[in-house]
Amino acid sequence: AQSVSQHNHHVILSEAASLELGCNYSYGGTVNLFWYVQYPGQHLQLLLKYFSGDPLVKGIKGFEAEFIKSKFSFNLRKPSVQWSDTAEYFCAVRYMEYGNKLVFGAGTILRVKS
Amino acid sequence: EPEVTQTPSHQVTQMGQEVILRCVPISNHLYFYWYRQILGQKVEFLVSFYNNEISEKSEIFDDQFSVERPDGSNFTLKIRSTKLEDSAMYFCASLREINSPLHFGNGTRLTVT
């Protein structure tokens, strides 16, 4: 079955610290990969996506993610977090051979202390 | 930027009652989805809808659930007889074409008492 794992459920960082959130997915052929962010009280917003090409993708607000095919991973990174990055972050995978739906990870709650 | 809109933002209902959750997808989008997130759990896929029919549904989407696009703009999720375990945040999403990201609405928090 298709599954997505996010390694940390809660992360607490101080401002200016570097961030890396892990995401691994089960093998399933061709995939599209996404990171979504949900700020308190708001809807899921797309941070970045990978469909093909350069495995290092840059998204909004200084976030980037690297697709490592051999590790089935798509980790999210930001060199220096801000208080406003406090949110929940979701990794999601579309398995192209298994329809159009997204399979989500459990989410990582990030709290940035000012 | 166009948005997916959902109403109401919060609905409280009694067990056994029918509820209809409403969504207005982005106007030129062709694929429509419902997801739900039970408090503290993963965002789970419920159903996808394309060309006026269900294209895929999960095990969660049993006979108690139905979807409809009655007028070309609204996309509704109906739960016929709600159960306590239906309490969750329900997200509507849409996309224009297959290889594009989903756009999500703000969600409807359903509380079944």
Two tokens, residue A99: 């329809």
The pLDDT of residue B38: 92
CA-nearest residue to A6 within chain B is B42
Tens-digit pLDDT profile for residues A28-53: 788 999 999 999 878 889 999 999 99
Contact between chains at B48 and A90 (C-beta distance less than 8 A): no
**Which of chain B's residues have a Cβ under 8 Å away from the Cβ of A90?**
43
The full length of chain A comes to: 114
Measured distance CA(A108)–CA(A88) in Å, rounded: 5
Tens-digit pLDDT profile for residues B61-87: 999 999 999 888 899 999 999 999 999
Q: Minimal Cα–Cα distance from B54 to chain A, Å?
A: 12
The answer to whether A59 faces chain B, any CB pair under 8 Å, is no
What would the mean pLDDT of A87-110 be, rounded to a whole number? 91
The pLDDT of residue A28: 73
Two tokens, residue A58: 């840059």
Burial (CB < 10 A; 0-12, 13-18, 19+), residue A17, is middle
The answer to whether B49 faces chain A, any CB pair under 8 Å, is no
Name the residue among B42, B55, B101 with its Cβ closest to that of A106.
Answer: B42
The answer on pLDDT for A21 being more than 90 is yes
The answer to whether A101 faces chain B, any CB pair under 8 Å, is yes
The pLDDT of residue B72: 80
Name the residue among B56, B101, B105 with its Cβ closest to that of A34.
Answer: B101
The pLDDT of residue A101: 86
Which residues, 6+ apart, have CB-to-CB distance to A22 below 8 Å?
A: A5, A6, A7, A8, A73, A75
Cis peptide before B8 (omega within 30 of 0): yes
Least confident span in A60-74, A87-101, B13-27: A87-101
Contact between chains at B104 and A42 (C-beta distance less than 8 A): no
What would the mean pLDDT of A3-18 be, rounded to a whole number? 94
Q: 10-residue block means of pLDDT along chain B (113 residues)?
A: 89 97 94 93 92 93 95 93 96 88 92 97
What would the mean pLDDT of A9-14 be, rounded to a whole number? 96
The pLDDT of residue B13: 97
The answer on pLDDT for A3 being more than 80 is yes
The answer on pLDDT for A64 being more than 90 is yes
